[in-house]
Amino acid sequence: MRVPLEGLPERVTIYEVGPRDGLQNEKAIVPVADKAEFVVRLADAGLRTIETTSFVHPRWVPQLADAGELLDALSRSPHLRYPVLVPNERGLDRALDHGVAEIAVFASATESFARRNLNRTLDESLAMFAPVVERARAEGLWVRAYVSMVCGDPWEGDVPIEQVVSVATRMMDMGCSQLSLGDTIGVGTPGQVTALIEAMVAAGVGTGRLAVHFHDTYGQALANTLAALRAGVTTVDASAGGIGGCPYAESATGNLATEDLVWMLDGLGVETGVDLAKLAATSRWMAGRLGRPSPSRVVQALSPGD
Amino acid sequence: MRVPLEGLPERVTIYEVGPRDGLQNEKAIVPVADKAEFVVRLADAGLRTIETTSFVHPRWVPQLADAGELLDALSRSPHLRYPVLVPNERGLDRALDHGVAEIAVFASATESFARRNLNRTLDESLAMFAPVVERARAEGLWVRAYVSMVCGDPWEGDVPIEQVVSVATRMMDMGCSQLSLGDTIGVGTPGQVTALIEAMVAAGVGTGRLAVHFHDTYGQALANTLAALRAGVTTVDASAGGIGGCPYAESATGNLATEDLVWMLDGLGVETGVDLAKLAATSRWMAGRLGRPSPSRVVQALSPGD
């Protein structure tokens, strides 16, 4: 039954992260042909923005060592955006070599995670991104900035909202077009999410440039998404079938499942352009490739007897 | 981090259904001593209202065949409420024999579920409850009414809100004190939940007499709870560890986990009186008794290496 709720947007853009954030955090290494089929099927299910892969060094992310090969296997369309994660200038060079038009860069809201994930201080990591963003913009690329650990950090615990805003505005000041606020360990709750978005808007980053990126580690992802939508956000990150996780969280239940998000938005009458049956079929197929059941509640519910 | 959200209540009463709705829908039959320990530990974790068992005939629910024995094993306290599900007058007699002070009766919002679950038409099932409620009230008992399938029915699909309101108000008119709106198959979304609560209030059943009962089959339970709290509801049903399910749903992911609810409410600064660590330890213990991992995301996240 479709029943709208006051204060929600009419349309939400789903930023699909399954092929990159999902597969990067799965143990199984998926063959490049299957990855290409995954992206094509996601697009066929109506997803229009699909983060396809990453040019992080294969030593750190062997799951995505075939980034160039995958990009070369995908045909492009003016209706589809295939952003690619780029960690540094060398990654940008590779992205440009493969005709990428959209990139994403990845910073931490906390000193601890910057040191552990990027092996740099927070300032050093931001200094590393500045020339990447500058060159990407000069080449006409669209640039998204991820900021992780925005609701908490496994080493530091609570993360002050001002600290998130400070890192985020520094990324946007470099020339990024979109900012994705990531609750990497999934500890946030709806009040914190609302306050964070309000603080971003007060700092000059409007909801039109914001996205939210929730992990369902503590079961909060969809409730937090509802709060973000009420606060004016219209771009939501999600991973088909809920694949992926965070190796830094104690228990990695993984990304918000795109199907669980679409179920809610369909019920609310919020347009996404996504065909849920096609999407769930794609996630069931990928779950078979990964050799484990999909953690998405909707995929499980729509797959009786699996 | 505790960050409140405007429009939420200061305090929420959790109506714990694990020992009854949870265990009733698990395959394993738990010994009565373990059930008694479960209830005692739940109370020790701060839960003040615990639906302990059911006097449904053991032929239908063999898991709870020891209802009388369990009740006799529990010591009572003026601070604790132990409601018991009662299907008919014979069940009421047994409840009274065991000193029960609070009962719950169970109706369906749909004709199909009434016929399948109670083997009666909707009108016949309501006619069966009338004398139960009347006698219970005359004996000074507190009576809760469950109405199930309020957001959808596996045979009928969409359930019109007016139909839910009609059944619910008939139950309340019999003299029930509280009404629990049950999305038994977990298909509802936040707009539908909000509209349903507003319709109940418009029909004269205020939010102070309402409770919500969500299943997480499609991952919507916590987002729906957030919507219900915003609409003024202050009593929420949940099952410790997320145990139980609905045998009538295609895939029974089960009740909203009490831990996932408490995590959200703790983060929002909404008081529940529940000690999350004690509760999660209880659910881990019960998961061991049931021989399967807890479906609660929070219990999983707080149990690394399990």
* Structural domain spans, chain B: 13-301
* Chain A residue whose CA is closest to B265: A189
Mean pLDDT of B147-158: 94
pLDDT number for residue B250: 43
Contact A293, A306 (CB under 8 A): yes
pLDDT number for residue B248: 46
* Residue B229: band (very low, low, confident or very high) from pLDDT cuts 50, 70, 90: very high
pLDDT number for residue A253: 66
B4, B223, B267 ranked by CB distance to A264: nearest: B223
Asked if A219 lies within 8 A of B253 by C-beta distance, the reply is: no
pLDDT number for residue B303: 83
Q: What distances in angstroms separate CA B100 from CA B55, B89, B142, B229, B269, one per listed residue?
A: 11, 14, 10, 30, 34
pLDDT-flagged residues of chain A (< 50): 246-252, 306
* Residue B293: band (very low, low, confident or very high) from pLDDT cuts 50, 70, 90: confident
pLDDT number for residue A244: 87
% of chain B beyond a pLDDT of 90 = 89
| C-alpha span between B88 and B134 (Å, rounded) | 12
Closest-CA distance of chain B to residue A161, Å: 10
pLDDT number for residue A245: 63
Question: Is residue B75 over pLDDT 70?
Answer: yes
* Residue B247: band (very low, low, confident or very high) from pLDDT cuts 50, 70, 90: very low
| C-alpha span between A11 and A235 (Å, rounded) | 9
Q: Which residues contact A50 (CB under 8 A, 6 or more apart)?
A: A16, A18, A19, A39, A42, A43, A80, A81, A82, A83
CA-angle at B159, arms to B158 and B164, nearest 5°: 165
* Residue B105: band (very low, low, confident or very high) from pLDDT cuts 50, 70, 90: very high
Q: Is B163 helix (H, G, I), strand (E, B) or coil?
A: helix
Contact B168, B160 (CB under 8 A): no
Residues of chain A neighbouring B195 (CB-CB closer than 8 A) = 3
CATH number of B13-301: 3.20.20.70
Residues of B labelled as active-site residues = 246
Residues of A labelled as active-site residues = 246
Lowest mean pLDDT across A106-120, B151-165, B241-255: B241-255
pLDDT number for residue B269: 98
Q: DSSP class of residue A72?
A: H
pLDDT number for residue A241: 95
Structure tokens at B163: 């139909």
Question: Is residue B167 over pLDDT 60?
Answer: yes
Question: Is residue B272 over pLDDT 80?
Answer: yes
A189, A192, A217 ranked by CB distance to B297: nearest: A217
Question: Is residue B305 over pLDDT 80?
Answer: no
* Residue B245: band (very low, low, confident or very high) from pLDDT cuts 50, 70, 90: low
Asked if A263 lies within 8 A of B218 by C-beta distance, the reply is: yes
Mean pLDDT, rounded, of chain B: 94
pLDDT number for residue B304: 65
B227, B250, B268 ranked by CB distance to A191: nearest: B268
| C-alpha span between A284 and A128 (Å, rounded) | 39
